[in-house]
Structure formats: structure tokens, C-alpha cells
Structure 1
């Protein structure tokens, strides 16, 4: 069986598709990933990848969409745009992906197309070829809502390829822990390609004090620096060790408190089991990483989906949702000492561990083709 896996051109979108892609290949199936721009970094995983939109510039598209829709832009920057802003943005993104994905599909002739909710270009290619599709969730939204919002802004691409609508998927893969969000589809344990990097020896074992990892977004834009500066400002008065993962150059060169260290790109999933907590920008990948490790997290509310994601964490009791500017010594102390947060995070981790591994879904996917 040949499986084409389609993702939006962003690291945080394509990396979570790697575990299922790898499981399919290990079972003897041919796999090809289709993406562009930053998403091409997934080639480091060893999986075959094709650039379906050479010259793609996500930042330029995002700026153009926000300038044309100022009210939506305001809501998006506040994290209150819901799926409307996502539909506008990724409708344009997929318009630029569709022709390349369709051309690749017609050349490679897959038997099955797997795509994430923000990559409906994959569903267009499948419809053209008459092959089934599978929606692979990778966010903390209901993917059906995301696809509806995107397709509503996707009419020109549909018409170009002789379609008026997209057929429903043959199946869906749901990765969210049900106690946090119930997604439609076959449950599968969340995983993600780490993106390379080596884990220093000192991060392989717990430190003398509770260790808190602090990360930021892989996407440039509003809030991309995340909570790092706020954490640094409050860290000295917290009985913990803080590790800034990929800080910007200016922050890395500045004078830091004695309990703050820096590190470059590391496999975050490998560092979390020896850590007490994670502080991050509210991205879905970071939230899932803390969930899998069963550690409490502080997720900052912000633009795009970050407020939604952070509030889900807080509603589950597995972490704290707060604006970066509101981070205090008291909140960071609570993050490392609150037994209720730790217990809830542990429960979510166990919930994810009980979900089926990607390899268990491969026979079900093969039966669709």
C-alpha cells in the first residue's frame, strides 16, 4: 500500500504525523510526506519528503490575511478568533499547496491519503484520484470544525480541480486524551518526531532541585518568544532550576540568575521525564509533550490557538493558564509544589499511555485502501 501523508508547511504540524508514518513504513508500506517550507525539516526523521510548494512563505501569507481582515486579526492576536481566523489563514495556505499536492498524487498514485486538519489539500488530491482519506488530528480542536472553516475559504482551489465539495474521510485518528478533549476518530497515543538535537548528560538525570524546562514557539510571530523573559525575571526567588530551551540570542547573552541555564535544540520529550514541570507558549505540541510525560505545565495564553489550548490544560487541572506578563514567583512555586497539579498531570499521562500505539492502527488503515 502507498500512503501519501500531507501536512501544512510548519514543524508543529508535520512532526506529530511522523510516528504513524514510521509505523506504516515499518509494516512494509510505502510512505511519502508532502509539505513545504519549514515542514521540510521532517526529512531529518529519515522519511521521504516532497516539497509541494517551492518558495512558500507562511509569514507573508499570515501578514496578508491579517491586513485584509483587521477585525479577525484583532481577535486572533487576543486568542479569541476561534476557527474563523484559522479558516482564513489556512484556506489561503491550502490554495497554495493544492496544485502541488494534486500533481504529486497523480504522479505517485497513492492508495490512501492521510492529512492533518490544516492540510485539506490532501483531501482534494484524494478526491481527484478517487482514493480514501484519513484525518489525522494534531491539535486540541475538533478537526471537523477546522476543516469546515478552511474549506469555506477554499472554493477557488476546489473549482480549479473540478470539485464543489470534499467527500468525508473514510476514518479519523484522534490523539487528544478524552478527559481533556473528545475528538472524533480512532484513538491513538500521541507522539512526535523530536527534530534532532542531542540531550546533554546533565538533563538525563533529575537535578538537585526541581527542574523546570522553559520553551518557546517554533513559529515566528506575536508571542513567539513565549514566557522566557517573564520566567527569568521571577526565577531567582523560586527554589527550582530553570532551563531555557532555544532562547533568542539576546536573552542567551544576558546576565541570568544563578538557577537559570540555557540549552539549544534538544529532544524535549527525552528531557521531560527528569523534569518537574514545563513552561511554554501554549502550542499544542508543547502541551501534548507535557501530557505524555505526566508533568504539570504553565501554558501562556496568547495569539491563535494558544489561549484555547492553555485554558483546556487549566480546566483539566493539569496546569496553569496565564498571560506571560502575569507570571510570578508564586505561580512558578505553585507549579513545582502543588500536589493537585502533579496528580492531574500524572493521570493524563497514564490516560495517554493506555491509548493504542500507532502500529496498532496500521491494519485498520490498510483495510481502507
Structure 2
């Protein structure tokens, strides 16, 4: 079977799709990843990838779209736009992906297209060549709603490729643990795919609680995440803090004795020996902490970050707070509150009980 995997051109969108893509490849199927720009860098060695939008610039699209819609832009920056901002941004993103994805589908002749909700142009390509499409969730939103609002902005692309309307997916794959977010589809265990080497000292617990602090893979508002706030409070907290990929200015500044820095590391490998994760509120970070069973502090930033952070907090497995409210007391609670640890471990068991990606291969084979 030939499987085309379509993703929006962002690292954080590609990576959640890789475990299933690699499971399909390991089962003997031909798999081709179709994305663009930064997404191309996320493809692991041995997985073919095709650039479907040469010259793609997400920042240019974001600036142009949000300047045209200032009220939605303001809500998007506050994290209160819901899917309205996603519809505008990813409607334009998918318009730019559509022609390349259709061309790849015609040239490569897949038997099945797997696409994320933010890459609904993959469903368009599947419809154009007459093969089934499968929606693979990679966020904590309801993928059905994301596809609906994004498709509403794809009228021109649908006309260009003579597709009257997108058919419903042949199947959907849900990665969110049900106690955190309800998604439609076959459940699949969230299995993060991260890059980098893990230093030996991160494999074992530290003498005091270790807190990993990460930031977004996307530049722009809120991209630096909570790192500066954590550094400002760190010397008054009985814990060790590890900044993952801090920006150059922060990494070159004088840091408290209990703060260290590292470059890219596989967070999923480092989390088991850590006490907590502090991050920017991205869906991958929320799910990664939940899969590891560690408490998290997620900042309530732009886009979907407020939504994601609040989901973790409502489940009791984390704290949701803007960066300005990160204090020594907040960080101390993060590493000492037994209720946070208990809830995080409950969700870890819930995720572990979901089928791994390899178990979904046979179900996908029945569609192709």
C-alpha cells in the first residue's frame, strides 16, 4: 500500500504524525510525507519527504491574514479566538499547499492519504485522485470542527481542482486521552517523536526535583514561552531547572546556580527522570507531559495555547497561568503538590491503555 501523509508546514504539526507513518513503513508500506518549509526538517532519516510548497513562508501568511482581520488577530494573540483564527490562517495555508499536494497525489498515486486537521488540502488531494482520506488528530481541538472551518476558506482551491465538496473521511484517528478532550475516531496512543541526543545526566533523577522548561518550535508572539519568568524565580525554588533550546540572549546571560541549558533533546526520554515540565502550551507539550505522567505548567498564550493549558488544568494534571504569574510559589507547587502528580499519573495510565500506532496499521490496510 502507498500512503501519502500530509501535514501543515510546521515542525510541531509533522512530529505527531511520524509514529504512525513509521509504523506503516515498518509494516512494509511505501510512505511519503508531504509538507513544506520548516516541516521538511522534522522528517527522520529514511522517510521520504516531498516539498509541496517551495518558498512557503508561514510568517508572511500570518502577518497578512491577521492585519486584514484585526479583531480576530487581537483575540488570537490573547488565545480566545477559538477556531476563528485557525480558519483564517490555515485556510490560506491550505490554499498554498493544495496545488502541490494534488500534483504529488497524481504523480505518486497513493492508495490512502493520511492528513492532519490543519492540512485539509490532503483530503482535497485524496478526493481529486479518488482514494480514501484519514484524518489524524494532532491537536486537542475537535478535528471535525477544524476541518469544517478550514474547508470553508478553500472554495478557490476546490474550484481549481474541480472538487465540488470534500467527502467525509474514511476514518479518523484520535490521540487525546478521553478524560482530557473528546475526539472522534479510532483511539491511538500518543507517542511523541522528538529529535536530539539525551545527555547522560538527564537519564537519572537529580538530587532535587528536576523541571524541564521548553519553548515553542514556532517563532512569533509567545514563542519564547515561560523561560525568562522561570529564570527570574528559580533561585527561590528548591529544584533544578533545565532550559531546552533557550534563545541566544538568555543562554548567554548569567543564570542562577540551579538553572542549566541544553540544545534539542528528546523530551519524551528526559521526562521520566524529571519532576515536571514547564512549557508554552502547545498541544504536543501538553500531551507529552501527560504521556510521561508528570505535572505541567502550561502558559496561556496565543492561538490554541490557552485552550490547551486550561484542558490540562481542568483535568487536575497541571497549572495554567500566563508567564507573568509564574512565581516561586507557583513553581514550588508544581513540584510538591501530590494532587497534580496523582492526576498526571492517572492520565499516563489512560494513554498507555490506548492502542499503539502499530496496532492501527491493519485497520488502515483495510481502507487502502
Give TM-score scaled by structure 2 length: 0.99
Shift of 1:336: 0.2
The separation in 1 between residues aligned to 2:14 and 2:190, in whole angstroms, is 13
Structure 2 match to 1:134: 134
Structure 1 match to 2:102: 102
Map residues 96-175 of structure 1 onto 2, 5 A cutoff: 96-175=96-175
The separation in 1 between residues aligned to 2:280 and 2:172, in whole angstroms, is 28
Map residues 227-246 of structure 1 onto 2, 5 A cutoff: 227-246=226-245
Structure 1 match to 2:365: 366
Contact 1:98 1:122 in 2 (8 A): yes
Which whole-Å deviations, capped at 9, do the CAs of 1:77-100 have from their partners, x for residues lacking one? Answer: 000000011000000000000000
The separation in 1 between residues aligned to 2:250 and 2:42, in whole angstroms, is 28
Shift of 1:164: 2.4
The separation in 2 between residues aligned to 1:43 and 1:89, in whole angstroms, is 23
Shift of 1:191: 1.4
The separation in 2 between residues aligned to 1:189 and 1:74, in whole angstroms, is 35
Shift of 1:301: 0.0
The separation in 2 between residues aligned to 1:142 and 1:46, in whole angstroms, is 32
Q: For 1:368, what is the secondary structure of its paired residue?
A: coil
The separation in 1 between residues aligned to 2:44 and 2:293, in whole angstroms, is 27
The separation in 1 between residues aligned to 2:215 and 2:240, in whole angstroms, is 17
Shift of 1:163: 1.5
Map residues 321-360 of structure 1 onto 2, 5 A cutoff: 321-360=320-359
The separation in 1 between residues aligned to 2:351 and 2:299, in whole angstroms, is 23
The separation in 2 between residues aligned to 1:295 and 1:268, in whole angstroms, is 12
Which whole-Å deviations, capped at 9, do the CAs of 1:115-170 have from their partners, x for residues lacking one? Answer: 00000110111101111010000000010000011011111101100022100000
Structure 2 match to 1:76: 76
Which whole-Å deviations, capped at 9, do the CAs of 1:323-366 have from their partners, x for residues lacking one? Answer: 00110000100000000000000000110011001110000000
Structure 2 match to 1:4: 4
Which whole-Å deviations, capped at 9, do the CAs of 1:164-211 have from their partners, x for residues lacking one? Answer: 21000000000000000110000000112212x111111010000000
Contact 1:111 1:132 in 2 (8 A): yes
Q: For 2:212, what is the secondary structure of its paired residue?
A: strand
Shift of 1:35: 0.1
Structure 2 match to 1:223: 222
Which whole-Å deviations, capped at 9, do the CAs of 1:41-74 have from their partners, x for residues lacking one? Answer: 1233421100000000000000100001000100
Q: For 2:43, what is the secondary structure of its paired residue?
A: helix
The separation in 2 between residues aligned to 1:51 and 1:205, in whole angstroms, is 39
The separation in 2 between residues aligned to 1:146 and 1:44, in whole angstroms, is 27
The separation in 2 between residues aligned to 1:327 and 1:350, in whole angstroms, is 29
**Which contiguous aligned blocks of 4+ residues in structure 1 show a shift greater than 3 angstroms?**
none
Map residues 258-273 of structure 1 onto 2, 5 A cutoff: 258-273=257-272
Contact 1:213 1:243 in 2 (8 A): yes
The separation in 2 between residues aligned to 1:67 and 1:236, in whole angstroms, is 41
The separation in 2 between residues aligned to 1:72 and 1:156, in whole angstroms, is 22
The separation in 1 between residues aligned to 2:319 and 2:348, in whole angstroms, is 16
The unaligned stretches of length 5 or more in structure 1 are none
Which whole-Å deviations, capped at 9, do the CAs of 1:271-299 have from their partners, x for residues lacking one? Answer: 00000000000001111110110000000
Structure 1 match to 2:213: 214
The unaligned stretches of length 5 or more in structure 2 are none
Higher deviation after alignment, 160-169 or 270-279? 160-169
Q: For 2:243, what is the secondary structure of its paired residue?
A: strand
Contact 1:218 1:224 in 2 (8 A): yes
